[in-house]
Amino acid sequence: MNIIVCLKQVPATTQVRIDPQTNNLIREGIESIINPYDTYALEEGVRLRERFGGKVTAVSMGPPQAESALREAISLGADEAVLLCDRAFAGSDTLATAYTLARAMNKLGDYDLIICGRQTLDGDTGQVGPELSQMLDVPCVAYVSQIEDVADGALRARRMVEDGYEVIESPLPAVITVVKEISTPRLPSLRGIARSKSAAIPVWGAGDLALEPEKTGLAGSPTRVINVYSPQRTCQGEILEGDPAEQVECLIGRLKDAGLI
């Protein structure tokens, strides 16, 4: 079973600052990690390989330093890794990112399953996985919490929905996005770390992927960030003081005043 895991290097915090000029995330001076949801994707990929054989290829699109995230992925069990890196990719929104990833998937070819995290810690859109499946014209199962079985060219998976879960059967190849309930990521191993240090990680640019310029990077990104702001607080909670009896009395009074009881 050939598995591709998409992963992104993100700042190790949710307290990101926004550049007021460009409305982009400020990444300088913040430690980078593999997007946590992508670590679940990687773990599931490695576990599937352990069950069914094959190989796991980790793919990341990002700046040159994203290579360290791919080396970490190898230390955690990925067999190979490819970095998609080119100045032409700068400014990609989810559509251009999915386009670039899709071309990389086609270049890799011969995949059975593509696994993505449900969303990233920084962008938080959750769009790249589903967009990628559309561009590759394969099914997408989003928010997967468990892969029950893989057999006869199909997978059966549980996906989280708001009030429970659905069991979906999908032909392969397919794209799935995973939630954190799917697994507990393992720690790296010493032999994995040694392998990750010596692994050759090819870097593919716009030319290698034969990308059309108008679909790439900023030019291929219809999204425009107009403004980024914290929402105004329009209502505020109130904490009632006193012992429980007093609090209950106060609460009942308020509810009566409001005509609710």
- Contacts with other proteins, residue ranges (CB under 8 A): 186-194
Q: How far is the CB of 240 from other proteins (least distance, A)?
A: 31
Residues 244 and 188: their CA atoms lie apart, in Å, by 50
In the bound state with other proteins, the residue whose beta carbon lies nearer, of 92 and 196, is 196
Tell me the sheet residues that pair with 9: 34
Give the SS3 label for residue 114.
strand
Between CA 82 and CA 59 the distance in angstroms is 5
Nearer to other proteins, 129 or 192 (CB): 192
Cβ nearer to other proteins, comparing 41 with 46: 46
Shortest distance in whole angstroms from residue 78 CB to other proteins: 16
All residues at 6 or more sequence positions from 185 whose CB lies less than 8 Å from its CB, including other chains: 39, 40, 42, 43, 76
Q: Residue 146 gets which letter from DSSP?
A: E
Q: Which residue, 75 or 170, has its beta carbon nearer to other proteins?
A: 75
Shortest approach of other proteins to residue 44 CB, angstroms?
16
Least Å distance, CB 193 to other proteins, is 5
Whole-angstrom distance, CA of residue 38 vs CA of residue 107: 22
**CB 16, min distance to other proteins, A:** 24
Quick one: 32 or 150, whose CB is closer to other proteins?
32
Give the dihedral of Cα atoms 132, 62, 200, 71; nearest 10 deg: -100
Tally Cβ neighbours within 10 Å of residue 149.
11
Contact between 42 and 52 under an 8 Å Cβ cutoff? The reply is no
Q: How far apart are CA 29 and CA 10, in angstroms?
A: 12
Which of residues 195 and 215 has its CB atom nearest to other proteins in the complex? 195
Q: How many residues does the chain have?
A: 261
Query: Nearest approach, Cβ of 184 to other proteins (angstroms)?
Result: 11
